[in-house]
Chains A and B, each alone.
Chain A
Amino acid sequence: MAGQMRPSLDDPRVAIPADSSWYEPAPTPKTERQAEFLTLREGEMFVNMGPQHPSTHGVLRVIIKVNGEKVVDLDPVLGYLHRGVEKLCENADYHQAICYTDPLEYVSSLFCEAAPVAAFEKLMDVDVPRRAQYIRVLTMELNRIASHTLFQGWMALDLGGITPILWSFIERDEIVDMLAALTGQKLLYNYYRIGGVNGDLNHEFMSRLGTWMSRAAAQIDSNLALINENEIFVRRTRGLGVLDAKTALKMGVTGPNLRASGVPFDLRRDRPYLVYPELEFDVPTRDEGDSLARYLVRMDEIKQSIRIIDQVLHEMPDGPVMAKLPRLLRPRPGRAFGAVEGPRGVYGTYAISDGSDQPFRMRIHDPSFVHLQLVGPLTKGNLIADTMAVMASLDPVMGGVDK
């Protein structure tokens, strides 16, 4: 009977007998920082959120030290979705490795393919046909829009609004269906190949894309109007979790989160890959660095992506979509880092070849992992509800964080 009862440790009413086996043992701090976190001062308590909690994106667990409603400190606990993708890739050949990286970030999985493919192509000195490059840009931008519209709904949902998520799913559903017509899969596309893409554009994709493009801008504007002019939304996000440019650079932040702090760093422009240098687009930035700015930068990016898609459709050349390559790829020994600008930041893959048909080491860098570090510093001193707003505005996807 007594074995069933496990009152929490920090409850002042509970006197813990030293030799009792039926209480959780007090965690022994392993590091300086953990010891500091585990020390409770007067009036503070721990609140455990996740890995099953209505608001955390995926299976994230956050231990929050609160004083009343105020967040004093915060410690994210990762690893609930850890699959060891890097190790799996080292035991797969180069084509199989792309399949493993696909489910990393399930919201925008084309970018998780694009980064390793870019690295492998550098390792093997492959020239990708121009049509394949255009198709990659087109599908990546579509996936970026799909990801950002979903972010919009999530952000509103974490602030308590239930309708925007279903409205934003209109766009995402249409894009996902479109990509499914092209790639045969709705979530894990596995479309990019070393040296090109798997299959040319087909009729269903093009007709769906045309229909969608004709109404996309208006539809997205109406979705934006649902949220952007909402006083409660703006008041809850403006001035919350301000990240200045210097800290952002020091923390290794990339992508829209960095651009919302006023640093115009965008791989598509600063380290051009594929056909991006030939396309015309702006890099939207904002100076505020708060949650609202991070939200608005992403919304501006949707418009730029539509602009890029428009140009790509106009300039798409004819030709093959796959380079001539042997079945079994054995690149020369060497190292390469492939990076693409994803909807969350820089997706990187560092691949080392030792001359065999399997990568010797494959490192996957995911921006969500870096951004999740910021939740603690940005929410300290705010309220519990702000933790959700900040986390939503940083837009981490746990599949990418946990690899």
Chain B
Amino acid sequence: MDRRLALLLAETFGERLLTPVRQRYDETEIRIALADATDVLRVVHDDPALRFSMLIDLCGVDTGEEMHVVYHLSSSLSGDWLRIIVAGLDRTAPRIASATFLWPGAEWMERETYDMFGIIFEGNRDLRRIYMPDDYRSFPLRKDFYLADDASRSPAAGVRNMERVGTPADATAATLLRKSPGA
């Protein structure tokens, strides 16, 4: 854990950080708004003092109220790890700019996130389903997608409606099993 990194990040991004920089064990975490995402990613990638040039992981999170996209980066300068949480994606129509312009290797991880959450990454050349079949209609990792075990708790009360027809917008009407605003 590196206090200097926290100071540097706070200094670099200032107002753009939604919450203060958090550090726990060897992880540093910043939370930014959707509009700043591309900019912040470019800065942490290119800034000679930061140089987070390795994308370790990219994933989506559905908190029940909004969607997040989480980037885990590793610095080639100091070996620090950085977590960037891009918050505030609309659950009905989640859209975010793709990170493939910095890391071409993010392409499949974005495809996976699209497949599982329905988050559309603008600028990804190949955004289609990767695991699920092409004619699949729902997004399994969203919190309104019930597993067979949970079907009895679902709005349809025991009817196994695991795959629902319709758009993400229709799904918001459904009850959620869990919500975690702080996720």
Contact = CB atoms under 8 A, between A and B. Distances in A.
Interface of A: 30-34, 78-79, 82, 84, 86-88, 90-91, 122, 249-254, 265, 270-271, 333-337, 339, 346, 348, 350, 352, 354, 356, 360-361, 363, 365, 369-370, 372-373, 402-403
Interface in B105-141: 105-109, 112, 116, 125-134, 140-141
Contacts of A249: 53-54, 76
B106 A252 contact: yes
B103 A86 contact: no
B40 interface: no
Contacts of B104: 250-251
A88 B57 contact: no
Contact of B140 (A87, A337, A356): A87
Interface of B: 24-27, 29, 53-57, 59, 61-62, 70, 72, 74, 76, 79, 81, 83, 102-109, 112, 116, 125-134, 140-141, 145, 147, 149-150, 178, 180, 182-183
Contacts of A270: 79
B145 A354 contact: no
Contacts of A84: 140
Contacts of A370: 105, 108-109
B5 to A, nearest CB: 14
Contacts of A33: 125-126
A342 B37 CA distance: 31
Contacts of A86: 116, 141
A116 to B, nearest CB: 14
A352 B131 contact: no
Contact of B127 (A31, A350, A369): A31
A333 B54 contact: no
12 contacts: A33-B126, A34-B128, A78-B130, A82-B132, A251-B105, A252-B54, A333-B180, A333-B183, A335-B83, A336-B25, A361-B61, A365-B72
B147 A360 contact: no
Contacts of B27: 122, 336-337
A337 B74 CA distance: 12
A125 B92 CA distance: 36
B24 A334 contact: yes
- Among B83, B103, B149, B180, residue most surrounded by chain A Cβ atoms (within 10 Å): B180
Interface of B is mostly: loop
Given A79-B130, A79-B133, A271-B26, 17 more contacts: A31-B126, A31-B128, A34-B126, A86-B141, A249-B54, A265-B54, A265-B74, A346-B56, A348-B57, A350-B70, A350-B72, A352-B183, A354-B180, A354-B182, A354-B183, A361-B62, A365-B56
Nearest to B179: A354
B61 A352 contact: yes
Contact of B79 (A251, A271, A334, A336): A271
Contact of B57 (A78, A352, A360, A365): A365
B83 A337 contact: yes
Nearest to A252: B105
Given A87-B140, A337-B81, A363 B59 contact: yes
Contact of A350 (B59, B103, B149): B59
A354 B56 contact: no
A350 B128 contact: no
A354 B54 CA distance: 29
Contacts of B102: 250
Given A350-B72, A370-B105, A403 B182 contact: no
A28 to B, nearest CB: 9
Contacts of A334: 24
Contacts of B76: 249
A335 B29 contact: yes
Given A31-B125, A373-B105, A82 B131 contact: yes
Contacts of B140: 84, 87
Contacts of A352: 61, 180, 183
Which 8 pairs of residues, A with B, have the shortest CB-CB distance?
Answer: A252-B105, A251-B105, A354-B180, A33-B126, A79-B131, A363-B59, A82-B131, A365-B57
Given A86-B141, A249-B54, A373-B105, A360 B180 contact: yes
Contacts of A251: 103-105
- Among A31, A84, A335, A403, residue most surrounded by chain B Cβ atoms (within 10 Å): A335
Given A249-B76, A361-B61, A354 B70 contact: no
Contacts of B147: 87-88, 91
A354 B178 contact: yes
Contacts of B183: 333, 335, 352, 354, 360-361
